Amino acid sequence: MSDGTIQPVVACEKVSFSYNGEPVLQDITFAIEPLDYVSVVGPNGGGKTTLLRLILGLLKPSHGTIRVFGRPPDQVRPMLGYVPQHFLFDPKFPVRVIDVVLMGRLSGLSRLGRYRRSDRDGALNALREVEMDGFHQRHISELSGGQRQRVLIARALACEPRLLLLDEPTAHVDTAAQKEVMRILQQLNNRMTVIMSTHDVAYVSSFVKSVLCVNRTAAMHPMEKLTGDMIVDVYGSDVRYVRHDRINRPPADGSLPCD
């Protein structure tokens, strides 16, 4: 019988992970609540992508436990949508936008290996959510970088997830496309929990609700309570904040330089 307590979407308890004996994450503990919008920040090599893969169940912790919706991650994969940092494709191969999005429905293929009508409807609905349904017959090579990124988000949405994870979703697109991606993620956050890794803390500060600072260890902060000193603790003393049109060091008062 439920005691009325809200179960975290993601709960990590004393999690550690190593690659070939080299520690990447050490003794991290945090919880992500339903409908949170979390930015995972930290330096290159600090463990951000590794943490996302642990939450997805693609990796298993060396120590500690991870629960997603109260269960081991590999038991809830159909409830998780994932947008990787890199999408490699052969521009000469004539794959259409709808074909890419349908990849998000592979787990539900019929015994004959065919997509059902419901799969195609789900793929089109996902494209509609990212405002790309009018491009469903286009070849993926014909799209801009920002448009391709929205298609990848649609692919993650095609499985109708309750948790969406994205690895650096704005890293390789221009400023206008970044704004479109962030606007779409804000809308999606009305009905699902969103976790995204990023380097640009200042840019995402007006969109996200929480920040998870990761550099071997991890600490969760509400966005409005994040300070420059906290970011320096994660990145080191030489951290610079990127602000649309210029580069700044953290201000002397320790505040976060956000537009």
Structure confidence at residue 57 as a pLDDT band (50, 70, 90): very high
Instruction: Write down the pLDDT at residue 244.
Output: 34
Cβ atoms of 240 and 233 closer than 8 Å: no
What is the identity of the amino acid at 188? Answer: L
CA 226, distance to chain mean position in Å, is: 20
pLDDT of res. 1: 45
Cα–Cα distance measured from residue 103 to residue 97, given in angstroms and rounded to the nearest whole number: 10
Residue 245 has pLDDT above 50, yes or no: no
Query: Residue 68 has what pLDDT?
Result: 98
Residue reference for tokens 């995402």: 204
Q: How far apart are CA 57 and CA 176, in angstroms?
A: 33
CA-to-CA separations, 22 to 63, 181, 191, 224, in angstroms, rounded: 14, 35, 38, 34
- The pair phi, psi for residue 219, each rounded to 5°, is -145, 130
Compute the distance between CA of residue 38 and CA of residue 51 in angstroms, rounded to an integer. 13
Q: How confident is the model at residue 190 (pLDDT cuts 50, 70, 90)?
A: very high
Residue 4's pLDDT is 61
**Bigger pLDDT: 172 or 154?**
154
Please tell me the predicted confidence (pLDDT) of residue 93: 79
Q: What's the rounded mean pLDDT across residues 234-240?
A: 54
The stretch 123-131 carries a mean pLDDT of: 96
pLDDT score, position 108: 58
Count helices and strands (H / E) in the chain.
Answer: 7, 11
Evaluate if residue 114 carries a pLDDT over 90: no
pLDDT of residue 257: 35
The domain ranges of the chain are 10-248
Instruction: Indicate the pTM of the whole model.
Output: 0.85
Q: Which amino acid is at 113?
A: G
How deeply is 31 buried, as exposed, middle or buried, from its count of CB atoms within 10 A (0-12, 13-18, 19+)?
A: middle
In whole angstroms, what is the distance from residue 105 CA to residue 87 CA?
Answer: 18
- Count Cβ atoms within 10 A of the Cβ of residue 160 and give its class: 0-12 exposed, 13-18 middle, 19 or more buried: middle
Residues 184-203, mean pLDDT to the nearest whole number: 90
Which pLDDT does position 6 carry in this prediction?
82
**CATH code given to domain 10-248:** 3.40.50.300
In this prediction, residue 252 has a pLDDT band, given cuts at 50, 70 and 90, of: very low
Q: Confidence class of residue 125 from pLDDT cuts 50, 70 and 90?
A: very high
The residue among 64 and 200 whose pLDDT is bigger is 64
Least confident of 165-169, 179-183, 215-219, 248-252: 248-252
CB-neighbour burial class of residue 108 (10 A; exposed 0-12, middle 13-18, buried 19+)? middle
**113: pLDDT confidence band, cut at 50, 70 and 90?**
low
